[in-house]
Structure 1
Protein backbone atom coordinates (compact mmCIF):
# COMPACT_ATOMS: atom_id res chain seq x y z
CA UNK A 1 0.00 0.00 0.00
CA UNK A 2 2.82 2.39 0.91
CA UNK A 3 4.50 1.70 -2.45
CA UNK A 4 1.28 2.57 -4.29
CA UNK A 5 1.12 6.00 -2.61
CA UNK A 6 4.80 6.61 -3.29
CA UNK A 7 4.33 5.84 -7.00
CA UNK A 8 1.23 8.05 -7.17
CA UNK A 9 3.10 10.91 -5.46
CA UNK A 10 6.01 10.49 -7.89
CA UNK A 11 3.70 10.59 -10.93
CA UNK A 12 1.85 13.67 -9.66
CA UNK A 13 5.13 15.46 -8.93
CA UNK A 14 6.46 14.78 -12.43
CA UNK A 15 3.19 15.96 -13.98
CA UNK A 16 3.30 19.17 -11.93
CA UNK A 17 6.92 19.93 -12.89
CA UNK A 18 6.16 19.15 -16.54
CA UNK A 19 3.16 21.52 -16.56
CA UNK A 20 5.24 24.27 -14.95
CA UNK A 21 7.94 23.85 -17.62
CA UNK A 22 5.31 23.94 -20.38
CA UNK A 23 3.69 27.07 -18.92
CA UNK A 24 7.05 28.89 -18.60
CA UNK A 25 8.12 27.96 -22.14
CA UNK A 26 4.74 28.98 -23.58
CA UNK A 27 4.85 32.30 -21.70
CA UNK A 28 8.34 33.06 -23.03
CA UNK A 29 7.29 32.14 -26.56
CA UNK A 30 4.08 34.20 -26.40
CA UNK A 31 5.95 37.36 -25.41
CA UNK A 32 7.77 37.21 -28.77
CA UNK A 33 4.47 37.47 -30.64
CA UNK A 34 3.95 40.83 -28.94
CA UNK A 35 0.76 42.80 -29.44
CA UNK A 36 1.12 43.20 -33.20
CA UNK A 37 0.65 39.49 -33.95
CA UNK A 38 -2.30 37.21 -33.19
CA UNK A 39 -1.59 33.52 -32.62
CA UNK A 40 -2.97 31.10 -35.21
CA UNK A 41 -4.28 29.11 -32.24
CA UNK A 42 -1.80 26.24 -32.56
CA UNK A 43 1.01 25.31 -30.20
CA UNK A 44 3.68 23.35 -32.04
CA UNK A 45 5.36 21.34 -29.25
CA UNK A 46 8.10 18.74 -29.13
CA UNK A 47 10.19 17.19 -26.39
CA UNK A 48 13.67 16.84 -27.84
CA UNK A 49 16.82 15.10 -26.67
CA UNK A 50 20.26 14.86 -28.18
CA UNK A 51 20.28 15.92 -31.82
CA UNK A 52 16.60 15.17 -32.47
CA UNK A 53 14.70 17.37 -34.91
CA UNK A 54 10.99 18.17 -34.65
CA UNK A 55 9.07 18.72 -37.87
CA UNK A 56 5.88 20.76 -38.18
CA UNK A 57 3.79 21.35 -41.30
CA UNK A 58 1.76 24.48 -41.98
CA UNK A 59 0.37 26.67 -44.75
CA UNK A 60 1.18 30.35 -45.07
CA UNK A 61 -1.32 32.38 -47.08
CA UNK A 62 -0.43 35.02 -49.66
CA UNK A 63 -0.29 38.61 -48.50
CA UNK A 64 -0.34 37.94 -44.74
CA UNK A 65 2.40 39.16 -42.41
CA UNK A 66 3.57 36.35 -40.12
CA UNK A 67 5.88 35.86 -37.17
CA UNK A 68 7.32 32.54 -36.03
CA UNK A 69 8.37 32.54 -32.37
CA UNK A 70 10.29 29.70 -30.71
CA UNK A 71 11.22 29.01 -27.10
CA UNK A 72 12.62 26.41 -24.77
CA UNK A 73 12.86 27.39 -21.13
CA UNK A 74 14.20 30.85 -20.37
CA UNK A 75 17.20 31.17 -22.71
CA UNK A 76 16.37 32.98 -25.93
CA UNK A 77 18.86 31.37 -28.31
CA UNK A 78 18.41 27.68 -27.52
CA UNK A 79 16.05 26.81 -30.40
CA UNK A 80 17.33 26.58 -33.95
CA UNK A 81 14.47 26.64 -36.43
CA UNK A 82 14.41 26.46 -40.20
CA UNK A 83 11.60 26.93 -42.70
CA UNK A 84 11.50 24.88 -45.92
CA UNK A 85 9.19 25.04 -48.91
CA UNK A 86 7.38 21.95 -50.22
CA UNK A 87 10.39 21.05 -52.40
CA UNK A 88 12.63 21.15 -49.32
CA UNK A 89 14.40 24.40 -50.29
CA UNK A 90 15.56 26.38 -47.28
CA UNK A 91 13.64 29.65 -47.00
CA UNK A 92 14.97 30.81 -43.64
CA UNK A 93 17.00 29.60 -40.68
CA UNK A 94 17.50 31.58 -37.49
CA UNK A 95 20.97 30.01 -37.24
CA UNK A 96 22.07 32.74 -39.67
CA UNK A 97 20.74 35.36 -37.23
CA UNK A 98 22.32 34.28 -33.91
CA UNK A 99 19.39 31.89 -33.23
CA UNK A 100 16.93 34.78 -32.97
CA UNK A 101 13.79 33.62 -31.12
CA UNK A 102 11.48 34.99 -33.85
CA UNK A 103 11.25 35.85 -37.54
CA UNK A 104 8.84 38.17 -39.39
CA UNK A 105 7.95 37.49 -43.01
CA UNK A 106 5.35 37.78 -45.76
CA UNK A 107 4.78 35.47 -48.73
CA UNK A 108 3.53 36.73 -52.08
CA UNK A 109 1.92 33.35 -52.81
CA UNK A 110 0.21 30.76 -50.60
CA UNK A 111 2.78 28.13 -49.68
CA UNK A 112 2.95 24.88 -47.72
CA UNK A 113 6.01 24.79 -45.50
CA UNK A 114 7.85 22.54 -43.10
CA UNK A 115 9.32 24.05 -39.96
CA UNK A 116 12.15 22.09 -38.40
CA UNK A 117 13.23 22.80 -34.84
CA UNK A 118 16.13 21.49 -32.81
CA UNK A 119 17.99 22.46 -29.68
CA UNK A 120 21.24 24.38 -29.66
CA UNK A 121 23.40 21.50 -28.43
CA UNK A 122 26.05 23.92 -27.14
CA UNK A 123 23.64 25.06 -24.43
CA UNK A 124 21.13 22.26 -23.74
CA UNK A 125 20.93 18.55 -24.44
CA UNK A 126 17.18 18.10 -23.96
CA UNK A 127 14.04 20.10 -23.42
CA UNK A 128 10.59 21.17 -24.46
CA UNK A 129 10.38 23.28 -27.62
CA UNK A 130 7.31 25.36 -28.40
CA UNK A 131 6.78 27.23 -31.65
CA UNK A 132 3.97 29.73 -32.17
CA UNK A 133 2.92 31.30 -35.44
CA UNK A 134 1.21 34.67 -35.38
CA UNK A 135 -0.23 36.91 -38.06
CA UNK A 136 -1.04 40.59 -38.31
CA UNK A 137 -4.70 41.50 -38.71
Structure 2
Protein backbone atom coordinates (compact mmCIF):
# COMPACT_ATOMS: atom_id res chain seq x y z
CA UNK A 1 0.00 0.00 0.00
CA UNK A 2 2.78 2.41 0.96
CA UNK A 3 4.76 1.57 -2.14
CA UNK A 4 1.72 2.29 -4.34
CA UNK A 5 1.15 5.62 -2.57
CA UNK A 6 4.80 6.62 -3.06
CA UNK A 7 4.66 5.64 -6.73
CA UNK A 8 1.42 7.59 -7.26
CA UNK A 9 2.82 10.66 -5.52
CA UNK A 10 6.04 10.48 -7.57
CA UNK A 11 4.01 10.14 -10.77
CA UNK A 12 1.87 13.18 -9.90
CA UNK A 13 4.97 15.26 -9.17
CA UNK A 14 6.60 14.15 -12.42
CA UNK A 15 3.52 14.95 -14.52
CA UNK A 16 3.10 18.34 -12.86
CA UNK A 17 6.74 19.18 -13.52
CA UNK A 18 6.44 18.07 -17.16
CA UNK A 19 3.32 20.20 -17.70
CA UNK A 20 5.00 23.22 -16.11
CA UNK A 21 8.09 22.70 -18.27
CA UNK A 22 6.00 22.50 -21.47
CA UNK A 23 4.15 25.68 -20.52
CA UNK A 24 7.42 27.50 -19.84
CA UNK A 25 8.86 26.31 -23.16
CA UNK A 26 5.79 27.61 -25.02
CA UNK A 27 6.01 30.94 -23.23
CA UNK A 28 9.68 31.26 -24.27
CA UNK A 29 8.82 30.20 -27.84
CA UNK A 30 6.16 32.93 -27.95
CA UNK A 31 8.50 35.63 -26.66
CA UNK A 32 11.27 34.65 -29.06
CA UNK A 33 9.27 33.95 -32.25
CA UNK A 34 5.89 35.65 -32.08
CA UNK A 35 5.75 38.98 -30.25
CA UNK A 36 7.39 40.91 -33.10
CA UNK A 37 4.35 40.16 -35.31
CA UNK A 38 2.27 42.60 -33.25
CA UNK A 39 4.52 45.37 -34.68
CA UNK A 40 3.07 48.76 -33.72
CA UNK A 41 0.18 47.26 -31.76
CA UNK A 42 0.30 47.10 -27.96
CA UNK A 43 -0.02 43.56 -26.61
CA UNK A 44 -2.98 43.00 -24.29
CA UNK A 45 -0.69 41.44 -21.66
CA UNK A 46 -2.37 38.04 -21.68
CA UNK A 47 -0.56 34.83 -22.52
CA UNK A 48 -2.83 32.38 -24.31
CA UNK A 49 -0.68 29.45 -25.34
CA UNK A 50 -0.55 25.68 -25.10
CA UNK A 51 1.01 22.60 -26.64
CA UNK A 52 -1.46 21.23 -29.18
CA UNK A 53 -1.43 17.87 -30.96
CA UNK A 54 -2.82 17.12 -34.38
CA UNK A 55 -6.53 16.39 -34.13
CA UNK A 56 -7.04 18.91 -31.31
CA UNK A 57 -8.83 22.21 -31.21
CA UNK A 58 -9.24 24.94 -28.62
CA UNK A 59 -11.55 27.94 -28.27
CA UNK A 60 -10.74 31.20 -26.53
CA UNK A 61 -13.39 33.79 -25.65
CA UNK A 62 -11.96 37.31 -25.76
CA UNK A 63 -13.56 40.73 -25.22
CA UNK A 64 -12.84 43.39 -27.85
CA UNK A 65 -13.66 47.04 -27.14
CA UNK A 66 -15.06 49.67 -29.51
CA UNK A 67 -12.74 52.50 -30.50
CA UNK A 68 -9.68 50.30 -30.93
CA UNK A 69 -7.99 48.62 -33.88
CA UNK A 70 -6.90 45.05 -33.24
CA UNK A 71 -4.37 42.59 -34.59
CA UNK A 72 -4.89 38.92 -33.82
CA UNK A 73 -1.95 36.64 -34.55
CA UNK A 74 -1.91 32.87 -34.14
CA UNK A 75 1.68 31.73 -33.83
CA UNK A 76 2.65 28.07 -33.92
CA UNK A 77 5.62 25.76 -34.05
CA UNK A 78 6.68 24.89 -37.63
CA UNK A 79 5.83 21.19 -37.14
CA UNK A 80 2.10 22.03 -37.13
CA UNK A 81 1.89 25.51 -38.66
CA UNK A 82 1.07 24.38 -42.22
CA UNK A 83 -2.12 22.59 -41.23
CA UNK A 84 -3.24 24.83 -38.35
CA UNK A 85 -6.09 27.24 -38.93
CA UNK A 86 -8.24 29.57 -36.85
CA UNK A 87 -11.70 31.10 -37.04
CA UNK A 88 -13.24 34.10 -35.35
CA UNK A 89 -16.97 33.95 -34.62
CA UNK A 90 -19.42 36.34 -33.02
CA UNK A 91 -21.95 35.48 -30.31
CA UNK A 92 -24.34 34.10 -32.96
CA UNK A 93 -21.54 31.75 -34.09
CA UNK A 94 -21.33 33.57 -37.44
CA UNK A 95 -17.84 33.25 -38.94
CA UNK A 96 -16.22 36.69 -39.15
CA UNK A 97 -12.84 35.44 -40.34
CA UNK A 98 -11.31 32.11 -41.28
CA UNK A 99 -7.60 31.66 -41.92
CA UNK A 100 -8.50 28.53 -43.89
CA UNK A 101 -9.88 30.70 -46.68
CA UNK A 102 -7.34 33.53 -46.40
CA UNK A 103 -4.20 31.44 -45.69
CA UNK A 104 -3.08 33.96 -43.09
CA UNK A 105 -2.04 33.73 -39.46
CA UNK A 106 -2.83 37.43 -38.85
CA UNK A 107 -6.15 39.28 -38.82
CA UNK A 108 -6.42 43.07 -38.45
CA UNK A 109 -9.86 44.45 -37.56
CA UNK A 110 -11.96 46.95 -35.61
CA UNK A 111 -15.24 46.39 -33.81
CA UNK A 112 -18.17 48.81 -33.93
CA UNK A 113 -19.32 47.94 -30.42
CA UNK A 114 -17.71 46.17 -27.47
CA UNK A 115 -18.28 42.44 -27.82
CA UNK A 116 -16.98 39.01 -27.02
CA UNK A 117 -15.64 36.99 -29.91
CA UNK A 118 -14.82 33.29 -30.06
CA UNK A 119 -11.39 32.37 -31.43
CA UNK A 120 -11.23 28.71 -32.43
CA UNK A 121 -7.84 27.19 -33.26
CA UNK A 122 -7.66 23.75 -34.87
CA UNK A 123 -4.79 21.43 -35.73
CA UNK A 124 -6.27 18.86 -38.13
CA UNK A 125 -5.10 15.26 -38.39
CA UNK A 126 -2.12 15.11 -40.75
CA UNK A 127 -2.37 11.51 -41.85
CA UNK A 128 0.27 10.18 -39.49
CA UNK A 129 -1.82 7.31 -38.15
CA UNK A 130 1.10 4.90 -37.73
CA UNK A 131 3.44 7.52 -36.33
CA UNK A 132 3.50 9.70 -33.24
CA UNK A 133 1.12 12.62 -33.54
CA UNK A 134 2.83 15.90 -34.36
CA UNK A 135 2.59 18.65 -31.77
CA UNK A 136 3.85 22.12 -31.08
CA UNK A 137 3.28 25.34 -29.21
CA UNK A 138 0.34 27.46 -30.31
CA UNK A 139 -0.11 31.01 -29.03
CA UNK A 140 -2.91 33.48 -29.65
CA UNK A 141 -1.63 37.04 -29.45
CA UNK A 142 -3.91 40.07 -29.37
CA UNK A 143 -2.63 43.59 -29.88
CA UNK A 144 -4.54 46.87 -29.98
CA UNK A 145 -4.15 50.55 -30.73
CA UNK A 146 -6.48 53.52 -30.46
CA UNK A 147 -8.14 54.41 -33.75
Which of the residues 40, 45, 57 maps onto 2:44?
40
Higher helix proportion (structure 1 or 2)? 2
CA offsets per residue over residues 92-121 of structure 1, 9 Å max, x none?
A: 1111111x1211001112111110112254
| Structure 1 outlier segments of 4+, above 6 Å | none
Gaps of 5+ in 1: 1-6
Task: Quote the offset at 1:20 in angstroms.
Answer: 3.7
Residue pair 2:90, 2:117 contacting (<8 A) in 1 also:
yes
The CA RMSD measured in Å over matched residues stands at 2.9
Task: Quote the offset at 1:71 in angstroms.
Answer: 1.0
The aligned residue for residue 91 of structure 1 is 96
The aligned residue for residue 6 of structure 2 is none
Query: Secondary structure, in 3 states, of the residue corresponding to 1:133?
Result: strand
Task: Quote the offset at 1:78 in angstroms.
Answer: 4.9
Which of the residues 78, 85, 90 maps onto 1:80?
85
- Structure exhibiting the larger radius of gyration computed from Cα positions: 2
Q: TM-score, normalised by structure 1?
A: 0.76
